[in-house]
Amino acid sequence: MILIPGFLSSGAVWNTVVDHFKDRYECHVVTVAGFAGTAPAASITLERVRDDVIAYARQKKLDRPVIVGHSMGGVLALWIAETDPALPSAIVSVDGVPFLAALMDPSATADSTRTQAAQMKRLYESMTRQQLGTQSRLAFSSMISDANRIDEATSWAESSDPRTAGALLNDLMTTDLRGDAGKIAVPLLLVPAVKAMDASADMLKTAVAAYERQVAAVRSHAVVPARTLHFVMFDDPLFLLKTMDTFLAGR
- Domains in the chain: boundaries: 2-105+177-249
Q: What percentage of the chain reaches a pLDDT higher than 90?
A: 93
Q: Are 94 and 191 in contact (CB under 8 A)?
A: yes
pLDDT digits (tens, 9 = 90+) for 115-127: 999 999 999 999 9
pLDDT of residue 199: 63
Instruction: Say how far residue 54 (Cα) sits from the centre of its chain.
Output: 16
Given a cut of 80, whether residue 195 has pLDDT beyond it is: yes
Instruction: Give the confidence band of 203 by pLDDT, cuts at 50, 70, 90.
Output: confident
CATH classification code of 2-105+177-249: 3.40.50.1820
Mean pLDDT of the chain: 96
SS3 state at 142? coil
Q: How many CB atoms lie within 10 A of CB 238?
A: 9
Single-letter residue type at 140 = F
